[in-house]
Amino acid sequence: MAEPSTIPGYLLRNAADPNFSDQPAMREKSFGIWETYDWQSYVENVRSFSLGLADLGFAADDKLAVIGNNRPRLYWAQLSAMCLGGQSVPVYQDAIASELSYVLAHSEASVIVVEDQEQVDKVLSIRDELPNLKWLIYDYSRGLASYDVDILKSYEEVQTLGRAFAEGNPNYLENEIAKISADSFALIAYTSGTTGQPKGVILSHENLIETARIFIAAEDVRKTDDFLSYLPMAWVGDALYGLCVSIMVGASCNCPEEPETIQRDLRELGPTGIVAAPRVWEGILSSLQVRAEDSTPLKKLAFNYFRGVADAVEQTKLEGKPLPLFLKIKQQIGEFMVYGPVRDQLGLRRARWCYTGGAPLGPDTFRFFRGFGINLKQVYGMTESTGLVSLQTSETANPDTVGEPCQGIDVSIAKERSEVLIRSKGIFKGYYKQDDKTREAIDAEGWFHTGDAGMIDERGHLVIVDRAKDVGKLSDGTVFAPQFIELKLKYSPYINEAVAFGDGQAFVSTMIAIDLEAVGKWAEKGRLPYTNYMDLAQKSEVRALIAEEIRQINLGLPEVQRIKRFLLLTKDLDADDNEVTRTRKLRRAYIMEKYAPVLNAFYGGGTAVELKLDVTFEDGSRSQIDSHLVIEEAA
């Protein structure tokens, strides 16, 4: 029997094949209880919602947007759109109304499926800006009983319409799925928009399926696997791993109860595979470091000692040397006393493979998890490549590369700016309604220009240096890659975000946003009173704490690249304020413009700078805060 060529084709296979039909396909935790859906019930839910959409007029080439946390019904809604020949448009659930307005209007979404009242209110507030909107469908009904809006329907209402529609059209869904080809468009994933408005990346069924096949061939993915579905649904990684890989292999996706319960749900589930952004791994590490500092002296001593053993083991492996007997013995003792219990606390004792992707992860953070027995590896990709270009094997995991390009994916390094170029069946079909941008990104020979500067090392592994446009030079000609320094800084548990400057300058300087939780606990332990983030960041004691962290980091940097001056921001960098993207990538051009007085003070010999900073609240309203930022000299 031939393999299906579309995502809905795999769905029908899973429902009909006895090897899949009664296997767990998705779980959802609600009110503390995990509810399981097998592939048969999974497909029946998609069927009833698909036919309900058809009854409401949704047809081929229509767009359906989903907004909310990871919920089975939002996944089923996306698949329903694909079954009818339409495209799903997942949107970041924490996007403010103005961001939603752009993506929803640009994509021409005619149906929007949201999680709850909060998202309903956001969409209704911009309804006048969405001329294509016909239906707004919600999952949770709490708070919506009194809403009298002509376009508003509950998920249950649509499924009821679908079941009634099926009685008069028994083969409608199968007939619609048969019309879809591998070249049919399945998904429009919007980029994070680091340099401007997000672009709609059109991905076909072939893009998704061929890329998923490449990943499945490269990794040990099994039908019995459990994945935790917590990545933003708007991130292409969630579509690739959470939808396509799980459907094609028959693995189970598991939706946590709430974003706040992810750590607890992760431990209960014990996933066998996990993909997480660097931000997640950095957060886990900071939490572990803070907990170690707050533990008993004996536990703290054991944690720090065996952490050093783990570092030594990883360094020895990276150098290709055999482990000495005494180091093996220490590692085994550490496994019993520290490493195993930590993996158990994190919910990663069953995990055979873990990936970090979407942005670079600092080498120190990478080595930490590897040393603690977590099979963490790097995967490199972007929205335009359907989320995959290269990945590391368990034997070749290395913090300095992103692995070898996968079979079926060609990678080349352009002579100009050392830009990474990619060619594969996973390369997107184009930017939605932006043909000029598509021609700029994909050349006549089919190479996609990533904008990343990189190289291929002697082992054939891909090394990503930084964004090509961000790599500069200090005034003495030394190459300056700000990301390298920022990753070093973010290894500190007390530093949440960092922005490094130095292009065209004589030395490196940084703006730092503290980690409120970690520094707050440090302050409480030292009986240092504070009221809020701004008050804490302005404390001279906190500046001294960060100065010591920078001193330690400077010891591991070449002298010419060491940080000379720094300041602490009085607010964290925020996506709502356009300083970072929803995936926490720095919007450098905007930051350079917004914080221009800081740069002038850094390199003009100033000791302080006064700033009026715009702050955006969740409802989209704005205010200003006056900030007095003290510039410190770094040792």
- Residue that is last in its domain, among 445, 469, 493: 469
463 shares a domain with 345: yes
Q: Which residue has the higher pLDDT, 624 or 425?
A: 425
Per-residue pLDDT band for 398 (boundaries 50, 70, 90) equals: confident
Q: What is the mean pLDDT of residues 159-178?
A: 95
How do residues 315-336 score in pLDDT, each as one tens digit? 888 888 888 999 999 999 999 9
Residues 494 and 477 placed together within one structural domain of the fold:
yes
Q: Is the dihedral of CA 55, 200, 359, 219 positive or negative?
A: positive
pLDDT band at 438 (very low <50, low <70, confident <90, very high): very high
Residues 159 and 93 in one domain: yes
Q: In what order do the strands lie in the sheet with 152-154?
A: 152-154, 135-138, 111-114, 63-67, 87-91, 185-190, 200-204, 430-431
Q: At which residue do the structure tokens 């290709």 appear?
A: 320
Show which of 203, 231, 249 is a domain's final residue.
203
Structural domains of the chain, count: 3
Q: Considering the domain boundaries, does residue 102 fall inside one?
A: yes
243 domain residue, yes or no: no
Residues 529 and 446 in one domain: no
Verify that 370 and 493 share a domain, yes or no.
no
Looking at the fold, whether 443 and 514 belong to one and the same domain comes out as: no
Residues 436 and 523 in one domain: no
Average pLDDT, the chain: 91
* C-alpha span between 7 and 88 (Å, rounded): 12
Task: Tell me if 117 is assigned to some domain.
Answer: yes
Please list the residues that pair with 420 across neighbouring strands.
413
What digits encode the pLDDT tens for the residues 364-394? 889 899 999 999 999 999 999 999 999 999 9
Tokens of residue 264, six digits: 């607890």
Residue 399 lies in a domain: yes
For position 277, what pLDDT does the model report? 85
Which residue among 153, 172, 203 closes a domain?
203
Residue 398's nearest CA partner among 418, 413, 376, 420 is 376
- What does the pLDDT read at residue 622? 72
- pLDDT greater than 90 at residue 512: yes
Can you list the alpha helix ranges (DSSP code H) found in 230-296?
Answer: 236-237, 246-249, 262-269, 278-294
Sheet holding 409-413, edge to edge: 409-413, 419-424, 448-456, 462-467
In sequence order, which residues have a C-beta less than 8 Å from that of residue 594 and are 6 or more positions away? 579, 613
Residue 222 lies in a domain: no
Could you tell me if 622 and 501 lie in one domain? Answer: yes
The CA distance from 400 to 397, in Å, is: 9
Q: Are 333 and 391 within one domain?
A: yes
Residue 491 lies in a domain: yes
- Calculate the CA 87 to chain-centre distance: 22
Beta strands in 303-344 (DSSP E): none
Burial of 213 (0-12, 13-18, 19+ CB in 10 A): middle
More confident residue, 319 or 401: 401
Q: What is the pLDDT of residues 97-132, one digit of tens each?
A: 888 999 999 999 999 999 999 999 999 999 999 999
The residue segments making up the domain with residue 566 are: 471-633
Which tens digits make up the pLDDT trace of 237-247?
999 988 999 99
The CATH number of the domain holding residue 164 is 3.40.50.12780
Indicate whether 267 belongs to any domain.
no
For residue 368, which amino acid is it? F
Give the residues across from 608 on adjacent strands.
630
Claim to verify: residue 400 and residue 478 sit in the same structural domain: no
Position 617 confidence tier, pLDDT thresholds 50, 70, 90: low
Judgement on whether residues 434 and 322 belong to the same structural domain of the protein: yes
Percent of the chain with pLDDT over 70: 98
Walk across the sheet containing 608-616 and list its strands: 495-501, 508-514, 563-568, 622-633, 608-616
The pTM of the full predicted model, rounded to 2 decimals, is: 0.88
Pairing mode, strands 404-405 and 409-413: unpaired
pLDDT at 620: 61
Evaluate whether residue 237 is within a structural domain: no
- Cα–Cα distance between 582 and 586 in angstroms, integer? 10
Output the domain CATH number for residue 570: 3.30.300.30
Question: Do both 139 and 91 map to the same domain?
Answer: yes
Over 80: is that where the pLDDT of 1 sits? no
